[in-house]
């Protein structure tokens, strides 16, 4: 068993790290405070090849693996969790289902520009009355005589919403069939009747955007049905497995970013004539933070590795473990980082309060951590 990242994985991690430090770090505080999503930053990731990491070259990708996606997301999240989220949604929630379930025509038309960073992706599943209970949604897709579908309804909390050119949308084609009555569609920005509603004002991840998507008699061609009619719920659940690996990587990066700041501060802050790192209470707190980060790392990397193994039938439990554990320790580590900074940690003059605000959502989206417990326990029966 080799715990060392491959040369390709290390190169991708360095590429993402350099990008984050040079391009994201100088403006991350200002973008967070002003709640500004800078689309050009994600576009630059595309130019570097970071938006096409796991896809084949014929599909516009670089032919790497999902561990490479995880380490890239982790490195970006160390500096800017908001842009890491935009990257994760684009790659895991929009590009992945097209790669997995799309036709060759759909891959050529949609996956290739997504992988090359020429278009931005989004994912529309959650509704005002259908969060965890995804089948309780009211968005419908009515099949027309000419084979097209007419979508009506709305989606909420959509990362990249309003900016994305391509959105994977889930709608009921036959409510009477339950899980087999949901279908998935590729919907393009600018389609008549497709508009955007409320922009969310949030506690954290303020430098990326979440918007309501509104569908009023939106006609989608039959060629944009993703998978088969009635496969939408299966597609959504399988997509969320990959998304949870991405959230785990994001949470890991958030924890590391806050931890690195706390270690630096503990070595520089002088109290009682010596750095506070010399105080056992602080040193032991930091030791526990490091322990949590390293154990989370291997949960995330293992899930990402299993995601790319052709002989693995399911990585759902691994994805849930990675997502739940990494997000929980991210909340704990960022809270402790604020504590290490003392009163200064509570101010916006220092970055640890932002990491703490950003960490919270990782316990909530792409399946709350209580849902992850349900999934994990289901494998124990």
Q: What angle do CA 46, 52, 55 make, to 5 degrees?
A: 165
Q: 301 is written with which tokens?
A: 């990397």
Neighbours of 172 (CB within 10 A): 22
Cβ neighbours for 64, distance < 8 A, ≥ 6 positions apart: 8, 9, 12, 53, 54
366 is catalytic: yes
Q: Are 70 and 246 spatial neighbours (Cβ–Cβ below 8 Å)?
A: yes
Encode 310-345: b = buried (16+ Cβ within 10 Å), e = exposed. eeeeebbbbbbbbbbbbbbbbbebbbbbbebbeeeb
Please state, in angstroms and rounded to a whole number, the distance separating the CA atoms of residues 220 and 232: 15
Q: Which of 160, 82, 362 is CA-nearest to residue 245?
A: 362
Q: Are 254 and 152 spatial neighbours (Cβ–Cβ below 8 Å)?
A: no
The counts of H helices and E strands in the chain are: 13, 10
Q: Which residues are the active-site residues?
A: 366
């Amino acid at each position: 068993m080799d715990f060392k990242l491959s040369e390709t994985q290390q190169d991708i991690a360095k590429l993402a790290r350099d990008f984050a430090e040079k391009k994201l770090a100088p403006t991350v505080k200002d973008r967070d405070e002003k709640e500004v999503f800078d689309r050009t930053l994600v576009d630059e990731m595309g130019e570097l090849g970071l938006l096409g990491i796991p896809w084949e070259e014929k599909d516009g990708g670089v032919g790497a693996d999902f561990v490479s996606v995880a380490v890239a997301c982790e490195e970006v999240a160390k500096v800017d969790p908001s842009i890491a989220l935009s990257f994760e949604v684009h790659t895991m929630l929009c590009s992945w289902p097209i790669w997995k379930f799309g036709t060759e025509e759909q891959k050529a038309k949609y996956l290739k520009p997504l992988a090359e960073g020429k278009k931005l992706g989004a994912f529309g599943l959650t509704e005002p009355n259908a969060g965890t209970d995804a089948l309780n949604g009211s968005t419908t897709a009515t099949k027309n005589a000419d084979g097209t579908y007419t979508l009506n309804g709305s989606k909420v909390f959509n990362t990249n919403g309003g900016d994305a050119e391509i959105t994977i949308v889930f709608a009921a084609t036959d409510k009477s069939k339950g899980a087999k009555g949901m279908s998935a569609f590729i919907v393009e920005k600018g389609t008549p009747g497709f508009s955007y509603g409320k922009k969310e004002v949030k506690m954290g991840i303020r430098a990326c955007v979440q918007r309501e998507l509104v569908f009023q008699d939106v006609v989608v061609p039959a060629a944009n049905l993703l998978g088969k009619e009635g496969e939408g719920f299966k597609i959504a659940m399988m997509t969320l497995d990959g998304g949870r690996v991405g959230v785990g990587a994001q949470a890991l990066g958030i924890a590391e970013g806050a931890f690195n700041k706390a270690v630096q501060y503990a070595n520089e802050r002088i109290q009682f004539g010596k750095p506070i790192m010399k105080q056992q209470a602080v040193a032991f707190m930091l030791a526990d933070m490091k322990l949590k980060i390293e154990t989370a790392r291997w949960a995330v990397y293992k899930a990402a590795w299993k995601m790319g193994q052709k002989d693995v039938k399911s990585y759902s439990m691994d994805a849930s473990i990675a997502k739940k554990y990494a997000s929980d320790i991210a909340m704990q580590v960022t809270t402790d980082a604020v504590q290490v900074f003392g009163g200064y940690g509570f101010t916006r003059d220092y970055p640890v309060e932002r990491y703490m605000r950003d960490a919270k959502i990782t316990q909530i989206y792409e399946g709350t951590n209580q849902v992850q417990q349900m999934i994990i326990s289901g494998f124990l029966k």
